[in-house]
Amino acid sequence: MVLSVVLSGPLTRHSLLYGYNQGVFGGVLVMNAFGKHMGDYTENSTKMGWLVSILELGAWLGTLYSGFLAEIFSRKYAILVNTAIFIFGVVIQTTAVTGAGHNSILAGRFITGTSSCL
């Protein structure tokens, strides 16, 4: 019982952060500073589509491994692992300040997406 209460916090945070990440990214795409940093990725609709949809592509991959992860570690610990993966993906996105920032954003969003399926 105590473990369930303790693990409900990370699960709640994970769900909240996933929705927040999805909602905020639409606003980020139209920011002038983001456009200057990303260059062609905010002007080309195909590349912008990749920025948006790669999170869902990662989620598709996450559905493939999440069942196995829950079977091996139990669902409770798999949730903790996925929360750590989510945080890692967000850190990659927020530290994308180099000239190749679009690659970091794409990788971070993909990693974040893989963690959202449990």
Task: Label residue 21 exposed, middle or buried (CB < 10 Å: 0-12, 13-18, 19+).
Answer: buried
| DSSP reduced 3-state for 30 | coil
Compute the distance between CA of residue 98 and CA of residue 44 in angstroms, rounded to an integer. 20
Angle at 85 between CA 98 and CA 55, to 5 degrees: 65
Compute the distance between CA of residue 83 and CA of residue 72 in angstroms, rounded to an integer. 17
Task: Label residue 46 exposed, middle or buried (CB < 10 Å: 0-12, 13-18, 19+).
Answer: exposed
Statement: the pTM of the whole predicted model exceeds 0.75: yes
Taking the chain, what is the end-to-end CA distance rounded to the nearest angstrom?
20
Unique residue bearing structure tokens 């260059």: 39
Q: What are the E-state strand segments in 19-113?
A: none
Domain ranges of the chain: 2-114
- The tens-digit pLDDT sequence of the chain (118 residues) is 677 777 677 667 767 777 777 778 878 888 888 888 887 888 888 988 888 889 889 989 988 888 888 899 888 888 888 889 988 998 998 888 766 678 888 999 999 889 877 6
Give the model's pLDDT for residue 14. Answer: 65
